[in-house]
Amino acid sequence: MAVYKTDLQDIYFNLFDFCGVQEEAKELGYGEAELRDIVDQFDKFVGNEIYPTRVPGDEIGVKLVDGHVRVPEVFKPLNKNFYENGWYALGYPEDIGGMPAPHAVKVACYSLAIGANVGWSMYFGLTQGAMNVIHKVGSQEQKDLFIPKMMEGSWGGTMCLTEPGAGSDVGASKTTAKPTDDGRYEINGVKIFISSGESDLYENNVHLVLARTPGSPEGVKGLSLFIVPRFRINDDGTVGDYNGVKCTKIEEKMGIHGSATCELTFGQDEKCYGEMIGKEHQGIMNMFIMMNEARLLCGLQGESQANLAFMLTEQYARERGQFGTEIINLPDVKRTLIKMRSTARGLRALGLYTANLFDAAEKGDKNAEAEIAFFTPICKAFMSDEGFNVSVDAVQVHGGYGYCTEYGIEQFIRDTKIASIYEGTNGIQAIDFVMRKILKDEAKTFFSVGEKMKAIMNSEEAKSWPHEVSMIGKSMEMSELVVKKMGKQMMDKNEGAVLAHATDFMNYCGNLVVAWLLLEHACIAKKKIDSAEGDLKKYYQSKMDDFKVFCQYQLTRNIGLANSVLNFEEDLTTMSV
* Catalytic residue IDs: 423
Q: Residues 206, 233: contact at Cβ < 8 Å?
A: no
The DSSP secondary-structure symbol of 186 reads: E
The DSSP secondary-structure symbol of 475 reads: H
* CA atoms of 2 and 122, how far apart (whole Å): 25
- Non-local (6+) Cβ contacts of 489 within 8 A are 495, 497, 498
* CA atoms of 118 and 126, how far apart (whole Å): 12
Torsion of CA 275, 281, 286, 291, to 10 degrees: 110
Q: Tell me, what amino acid is at 274? A: G
* CA atoms of 113 and 275, how far apart (whole Å): 33
* CA atoms of 73 and 232, how far apart (whole Å): 26
- Non-local (6+) Cβ contacts of 99 within 8 A are 86, 89, 90, 91, 92
- Non-local (6+) Cβ contacts of 469 within 8 A are 457, 462, 463, 519
Q: 133 to each of 99, 130, 368, 392, how far by Cα in Å?
A: 19, 5, 21, 36
Cβ atoms within 10 A of the Cβ of 443, count? 18
Q: Where are the beta strands (DSSP E) in 196-296?
A: 204-212, 223-229, 231-233, 239-242, 245-250, 261-266, 273-276
Q: Tell me, what amino acid is at 152? A: E
* CA atoms of 501 and 485, how far apart (whole Å): 11
What's the distance, CA 419 to chain centroid?
8
Q: Residues 303, 111: contact at Cβ < 8 Å?
A: yes
The DSSP secondary-structure symbol of 89 reads: T
Q: Residues 487, 501: contact at Cβ < 8 Å?
A: no
